[in-house]
Amino acid sequence: FSADNGLSESSGHFFLSFTYMTTAATIISGAVAERITLEAYFVIIFFVTIFAYPVVVHWVWSDSGWLSPWSTDSLNDGALDFSGSVVIHLFGGTNALTLAALIGPRKLRDNISVFSPE
């Protein structure tokens, strides 16, 4: 974002973080599709994106995060995340796997056959 369009650098960082957060939410939606109601999905995504996501990305992307490669306090060398892909996909995938395991299989999954003639 340049200074002549009226947007600050923090606006750009917010937009980038917002798109990463929505990517993590869509990974979760694929795992719980047809297993929960839309209202339940909204509640889950609200709590995941408001409370859990900021904590996890702070661990890696903040200078003071315990997994940050730029942290002076860390006991290790930290995790170097190229373009945010590891944090986003690991966060979304872990939540998706956990929710799918808690919810169980899709209903009627064995009773429906796409290839059976009717």
Our measurement of the distance from residue 14's CA atom to the centroid of its chain's CA atoms, rounded to an integer in Å, reads: 15
Alpha helices in 4-108 (DSSP H): 9-32, 38-47, 53-61, 85-103
Tell me: pLDDT of 1 over 50.
Answer: no
pLDDT digits (tens, 9 = 90+) for 3-37: 556 556 778 888 888 999 999 999 999 999 888 99
| b/e sequence 61-97, b meaning 16+ C-beta within 10 Å | beeebebbeebeeeeeebbebeebeebbebbbeebbe
Output the pLDDT for position 116.
Answer: 56
Residue with tokens 């957060």: 21
Output the pLDDT for position 23.
Answer: 92
> What pTM does this model have?
0.76
Output the pLDDT for position 118.
Answer: 56
pLDDT digits (tens, 9 = 90+) for 43-91: 999 999 999 999 998 888 888 888 888 777 656 677 777 777 888 999 9
Residue with tokens 């869509």: 26
